[in-house]
Every structure is written in C-alpha cells, then in structure tokens.
Structure 1
C-alpha cells in the first residue's frame, strides 16, 4: 500500500481495481497533507468527499474521470474541507449529490477545525444502511455520528473497504467539538466499527488503515485513557480546561491547542451526562457519591 508521500496533489493514484485517490491542495494542521477525494468504480463512478471549492482540485477530479460518467458525489460530512466542491462538480457533470444530511451550526467556542459548509444541498440523504450502486460497485452508508452529528462512513461492499471520512484517521485522532461534536456518540460509533468485517479503512486525511478493527480498538482505548486523565486532574482540583490541556498534551503544536480544549470539553460533557462531574463557574468538579 502506498503512503502519503508517494503521490502529489492533483494526480490520481490507483489503490485497488475499484478505488482511485486524488489529494487536494489544502494541507493544514487539521487536514494533514490535505483532503483525499476518492473515486470508486469505472465507467460510471461515485466521487467521495470532493473537498474544498478549489478549481485546481476540481480540474484534477475531472481529468481523473475523463471519458467516464460521474453518477454520484457523496460526502461523509459537511466541514468546508469536504463538501464545497459538490456544487461546481455537479455543475460540470450533472451528478447527483448523495450522502450525509445538511448541517449548519455555529460553535459555542473557537473553531477547532473547518467550519460547516452552509451551502451544501444534497439531492438525496442516505440513511443508515442505504446504498447507491454502479457497474460492479455498491456503496452503503454507515451512520457514525460523533465528529459531527451528520457524519457517515461509506462502505464499498465488493472490497470490504470503508471510507471513514474524519471518524477514523491514521495520522491523528478525530476532533470532537461540542455542541455538535458528541463524545458519547463518537465512542459508540467506534464500537460499531469494531463489530464490522471491513478489511481496510480509507480516511479523508492520512494513509489507508489495515487491520482496521485493531486500530479502532486502539482509538477507543486512547479516548478512555484521556477520560481517566481528566478524572484524575479534576479529582486533584484541576478543573479549568486550559490547565488540563497543558497537563495532558505535552509538546502540542500551539495551533492545535483549541482542538485539544474542545475534545476535553466533549469528554467533560459526556462525564456530566453520566453524573460523574459537574460544571461550577469556569471550572469542573467531581460529584461526590
């Protein structure tokens, strides 16, 4: 399997007989090398996560599918590094936009990653288990809320492959940013993936993930370790989120401090809903039992 450094932006790389990948030119602390757009099938294809509204990237997708029909454009969720290219791509091809539901929400705190795409307008929202198909391929929606409430993974049934969007990534854990990001839902979605028989994950950012159930189990364990760290800090009287971040994320890139704080908040909200902690002014404390 080829790694991220083996191909540049704008060029289609063949991953399997049914899957091609085109990297968008939008690297950042939150997108790694950029958004990976996947093309599934041949002749009549589906484009997954077309990415930002960047003309160079849209042209690259059109070059990669020259002589073919783009029948569908499908999005895992509606952050602006994933879905804005649906509109110019649809105008160029008359493809149907299918996939996640539209979602517009303003965060209650500083953005930890890309904001929502307010103009996303699907022709059809795929429900959990619903599918679209083409010659020798079937793409099935798997509801995986957590990173966002509208997040879907997309399963390529013929290859037992799962396009995981931002739910599972090899290079980083997913940002879970309240109020829409939900840690309890994210953990439940990881549990769901552990029970599936996928043989490979294709994330929107970072390398493909082999032995995917083991990887998902590791992510779940990591989140539980973070929860344990939070409980120990709160138990010692360290209940302010910025202080917790400084204790928990040693050597963190300062540009990612906001994302870390949002994930800590997501854990605290989950713990609050389970009756373990409560918020008091600008701090958090354990609930005595």
Structure 2
C-alpha cells in the first residue's frame, strides 16, 4: 500500500472530534489531502513532512469547509506557491489527480470529493472515524455514494476526522444502516402525529447531544426532503 502519514491539526471540537486530519501520501513526490485550518505549527509540520518525502506533487481538497481548506493558500506558499490543487473546481468524477481516483459524493457538502489511492479512500467528511456526519442536502446522492464506496475493494478509510477505519465494509454498512434507522424513526414520528421540527428531532434524533442539535436539524430536513421526493411525507 502507498505510504501514508497523518498530521493532526490541533482544532478539536464537537464536529472535528480530535481535530482535522491532514494526510501526506506517497513519496517523490508527496501529495497532501486536506491542509486543514490556518495554524502555523500544523502547516509547518505538513510542509516538513512533504519536504522529507521529496517535495510536493499537489494538494487534494475534499471540500471547502474551513476546517479542511482554510490552510490551502498558506501551505502552497510553504511548498513553493505553484503546487497543483485538485478540488471540485477543477477535478471531475472519474478523473485522476496524481495517485488518486476521484469520486464525487455530495451530501455533507455540495462540492465534496473522495480521493481513492489503491485500496485506501480519503473520505473527508463523507465517512468519519467515529460517529456519523451531518448531511446538508442531496441525501439520495450521498447514500448512492456510500454504496459506490462499499462496492470498492477498500482496505482502509482515511477520514477527515477520527482514526483510520480498518474495516471499510463494516463501517459503510453501519453508515447505511444508520441512515435507514433515522428514516424509520422519522416515518414513525410522522405517523404518530409529530409535525414540528422539535417534535421530529426529539423522536428521531433523541440521541443527539445539545451541542450538535442544530446540525441534527439540518440532517433531519435533508431526510424530510428525500421522503417528500418519494411521496412518503407531507
């Protein structure tokens, strides 16, 4: 398997878990997945790792949420200023960027890409090392993306937050089952007469901690949009 190093940004939180994972991939040249936030010590460590591996081939950006992308320009300056950037703006589904095959999987963000190198997938916020992600829209496409990842012969998922996943098939099955369970609870709540957002959240996202309830609400709206598209919800 291709050589991979994780450099963890010191930005822990309810959504970032232990921090944002920046991945340095390969050697002669090395490729960076998700520079992370603008934290000088973090970006210095990433640049040093790239230099030790023979210099930069490019930077792959899963999506433009600040905890993944804010450090792009500062890292490019450290790496020489002209390092290629592969993102939704210039890399398409089915294309390659350096050692990566590119998959477009919206859901968490409309511009979300997953980069696959051999049997390893760098999933950003499509799949996390622990817990689930909040889906901001396009749930049907997100679920289809999870199934496409499941069909690959992956040995490792390298997420944007949390530890590497060493059993990708089990993790992806868990993610799909989790969304199906949320939908089941939501349909049951609607059938019982729940109608307000708070009522639906209390019924279907009763395990969401208070600090992430606003993001659970975003996911719930996305589930409701899918159910309306399928004629299953008012």
Bucket of the pairwise TM-score, normalised by the shorter protein: over 0.9
Match of 1:28 in 2: 13
Match of 2:108 in 1: 147
**TM-score, reference length from structure 1:** 0.76
- CA distance in 2 between counterparts of 1:253 and 1:130 reads 39
**TM-score, reference length from structure 2:** 0.94
Q: CA deviation digits over 1:188-239, x for unaligned, max 9?
A: 1111111111111000101111221221111111101110100110111101
CA contact (8 A) 1:99 1:141 kept: no
Unaligned 5+ residue runs, structure 2? Answer: none
CA contact (8 A) 1:175 1:263 kept: yes
CA contact (8 A) 1:130 1:141 kept: yes
Match of 1:97 in 2: 85
- CA distance in 2 between counterparts of 1:31 and 1:263 reads 17
- CA distance in 2 between counterparts of 1:182 and 1:170 reads 22
- CA distance in 1 between counterparts of 2:190 and 2:175 reads 23
Q: How many angstroms does 1:249 deviate by?
A: 3.2
Match of 1:173 in 2: 132
- CA distance in 2 between counterparts of 1:268 and 1:251 reads 18
User: Which has the larger share of strand?
Assistant: 1
**Does residue 224 of structure 1 match 2:180?**
yes
Q: How many angstroms does 1:260 deviate by?
A: 1.0
Unaligned 5+ residue runs, structure 1? Answer: 1-15, 102-124, 279-289
Of 58, 63, 82, the match for 2:48: 63
- CA distance in 2 between counterparts of 1:155 and 1:61 reads 20
Q: How many angstroms does 1:56 deviate by?
A: 1.8
Match of 2:214 in 1: 258
Match of 2:97 in 1: 132
What SS does the aligned partner of 1:39 have?
A: strand
CA contact (8 A) 1:128 1:141 kept: yes
- CA distance in 1 between counterparts of 2:61 and 2:207 reads 34
What SS does the aligned partner of 1:126 have?
A: coil
Q: How many angstroms does 1:29 deviate by?
A: 0.3
What SS does the aligned partner of 1:256 have?
A: helix
CA contact (8 A) 1:161 1:199 kept: yes
Q: CA deviation digits over 1:112-164, x for unaligned, max 9?
A: xxxxxxxxxxxxx111121133xxxx21111111111211110112xx11111
What is the CA RMSD across the aligned residues, in angstroms? 1.4
**Does residue 276 of structure 1 match 2:232?**
yes
* Residues 151-230 of structure 1 aligned to structure 2 (within 5 Å): 151-157=112-118, 160-177=119-136, 181-230=137-186
Q: How many angstroms does 1:17 deviate by?
A: 5.5
